[in-house]
């Protein structure tokens, strides 16, 4: 298979708890389900028939920052620590569950996946976004830059050629990063998540409106895992020709 270098991997983001702020990693294992442990923990919203509790409904969830305490655990995902907006650190247990329910102002049910099940991703294993597309949306809303965390991408790719939405052409093709191979399957349709500043939790409706107007409400592409392995920030990114 012929491949072409299109850029390099700038950032890796893993979200141990679905809908909460995640952690930026220098390197990460990719298993059959995506980044190891991504969305391995979650909450169900009992006021909405057990749907996943999400930040588009409860933006304050992004005020919690979750990280794993170890790189790997035998037969289960590692324990996590969750820091709330007041700086208090929680483990996965009743105190955290009560705190989240109070923040969300609704009853919640905690859940925890296993490595055999994989995390609770929305549509596909891994979400990729590019620096050129981030700059394009920032330019259109009059900002110097946009935090990639708004878009919940797992991998941020710096393109060799500064072309917004060049990732559209990856759909149907394979991506190789180090020894990891991904199949790019579809666009990511955006919701009001992208309006939420991940640090201040302030809302800027212009972000989603601009995604709708500029790119038919699409930003980033979803990929599934073909070959697992390791990847690291700085790795070259290749696309099949």
DSSP secondary structure of 135-188:
HHHHHHTT-S---GGGGT-SEEEEESS--TTGGGGGTTSEEEETTEEEEEEEEE
H or E element in which residue 81 lies? strand 80-83
Can you give the pLDDT of all 241 residues of the chain as single tens digits? 789 999 999 999 999 999 999 999 999 999 999 999 999 999 999 999 989 999 999 999 999 999 999 888 788 999 999 999 999 999 999 999 999 999 999 999 999 999 999 998 867 899 999 999 999 999 999 999 999 999 999 999 999 999 999 999 999 999 999 999 999 999 999 999 999 999 999 999 999 999 999 999 999 999 999 999 999 999 999 999 7
Backbone phi, psi, residue 124, to 5°: -155, 180
From the list 98, 165, 104, the residue with the least C-alpha distance to 131 is 165
Superfamily of the domain at 3-240 = PK beta-barrel domain-like (2.40.33.20)
Domain boundaries, the chain: 3-240
**Residues near 93 by Cβ (< 8 Å), separated by ≥ 6?**
none
H or E element in which residue 221 lies? strand 218-227
What's the whole-model pTM score? 0.95
Contact 233, 9 (CB under 8 A): yes
């Amino acid at each position: 298979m012929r491949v072409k270098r299109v850029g390099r991997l700038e950032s890796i983001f893993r979200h141990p708890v679905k809908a909460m702020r995640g952690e930026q990693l220098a390197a990460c294992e990719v298993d059959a389900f995506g980044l190891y442990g991504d969305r391995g923990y979650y909450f169900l919203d009992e006021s909405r028939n057990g749907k996943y509790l999400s930040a588009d409904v409860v933006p304050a969830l992004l005020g919690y920052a979750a990280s794993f305490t170890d790189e790997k655990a035998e037969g289960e995902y590692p324990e996590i620590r969750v820091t709330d907006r007041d700086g208090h650190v929680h483990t996965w247990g009743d105190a955290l569950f009560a705190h989240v329910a109070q923040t969300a102002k609704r009853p919640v049910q905690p859940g925890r996946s296993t490595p055999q099940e994989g995390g609770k991703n929305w549509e596909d294993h891994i979400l990729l976004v590019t620096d050129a597309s981030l700059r394009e949306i920032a330019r259109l809303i009059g900002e110097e830059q946009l935090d990639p965390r708004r878009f919940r991408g797992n991998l941020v790719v710096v393109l060799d050629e500064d072309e917004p939405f060049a990732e559209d052409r990856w759909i149907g093709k394979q991506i190789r990063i180090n020894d990891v191979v991904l199949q790019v399957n579809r666009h990511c349709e955006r919701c009001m998540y992208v309006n939420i500043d991940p640090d201040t939790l302030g809302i800027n409706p212009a972000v989603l409106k601009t995604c709708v107007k500029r790119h038919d409400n699409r930003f980033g592409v979803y990929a599934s895992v073909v070959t697992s392995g390791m990847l690291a920030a700085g790795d070259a990114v290749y696309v099949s020709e």
